Structure 1
Amino acid sequence: MDRAISNAGIGVTPGEARTLVHAARAGAVRQNVLAERMGVEAMTLSGYLDRLEARDLVRRANDPSDRRAKLVELTDKADGVLEAIGRVGTEMRRSAAGTLSEAEWDEMLEKLKVVRANLSGLSQKPAAPRQGEPL
């Protein structure tokens, strides 16, 4: 995906594209929360935001509930860039799916969500060992 974003001529880096997509999903969100959701350091995100803000794709506003915090918001200009990122993502999913049917793709995504939840520690009960696996 990083290579596809880089080669698409959108004018953003893969990290900046991820930032836009996460910000679009989150709505107006504190910068530190956005960094946590993306799994990047605050300084890394700050660099992405500096460049995106210089292109007028995002703005950082004061959080009315905490003067020290900044809210990240997309500008209207980000819409076209997000559409281009979406087209790249759609093409990547088509390539990745190959001969899988839509139902098979959806089933795989659901299983991957379970795996992600298990790895994130979101599953509250420990998984039972499978037959033949050590405890």
Structure 2
Amino acid sequence: MAHQVNPESFGFLVTDVYRLMRVAMDRAIAEAGIGVTPGEARTLVHAARAGTVRQNVLAERMGVEAMTLSGYIDRLEARGLVRRVNDPSDRRAKLVELTDAADDVLKSIGEVGTQMREKAAGVLSEDEWGHMLGQLKVVRDNLAALSQKPGTGRTKERL
């Protein structure tokens, strides 16, 4: 019996785009001479998006193991780009926050990201790119609603 799958389905397309974009960004970050590894760059960007956040939550949002993230944060902290602080609501937990020194590195990462998005967009106009992003946000929000905890009215972490 022949197994049939659609290699152009939504899930495959999103996975392929993510994988290819990550490879391209990792290469570009490594070549840009920013002074951080691709993993450290991802950590900075996710920390900037999240604001001051528990280390375990940041690991979950990034889709990495806590120990992997801990290594990234150790190196970023040694460079003065992030700091760990005690969580006032749980003495066992650590919060990760960016320092002012991270601003220039984040700016450089953003410039690399802009170049990658322009290459990824190819012949798509700005309007077409914006429309696609809007549609992806709708899909993300629909999927986030599916992860709502029954009976609480509260949603889990946003995708």
Superposition TM-score, scaled by structure 1 size: 0.84
- Shift of residue 97, structure 1, vs aligned partner: 1.1
Match of 1:95 in 2: 119
* Equivalent of 1:108 in 132, 139, 146: 132
Alignment length (residue pairs): 122
Give secondary structure in 2 for the equivalent of 1:10.
Answer: coil
Match of 1:41 in 2: 65
1:22 aligns with 2:46: yes
Match of 2:76 in 1: 52
Match of 1:80 in 2: 104
Which amino acid is 1:3 matched to? R
Superposition TM-score, scaled by structure 2 size: 0.72
Give secondary structure in 2 for the equivalent of 1:56.
Answer: coil
> Identity over the aligned pairs, expressed in percent?
80
- Shift of residue 62, structure 1, vs aligned partner: 0.5
1:62 aligns with 2:81: no
User: Equivalents in 2 of 1:122, 1:25: separation in Å?
Assistant: 17
Which amino acid is 2:109 matched to? I
1:13 aligns with 2:29: no
- Shift of residue 107, structure 1, vs aligned partner: 1.5
The structure whose RCO (Cα within 8 Å, separation 6+) is larger is 1
User: Superposition RMSD on alpha carbons, in Å?
Assistant: 1.4
Which amino acid is 1:89 matched to? G
User: Equivalents in 2 of 1:45, 1:29: separation in Å?
Assistant: 13
Give secondary structure in 1 for the equivalent of 2:91.
Answer: strand
- Shift of residue 54, structure 1, vs aligned partner: 0.8
- Shift of residue 122, structure 1, vs aligned partner: 3.0
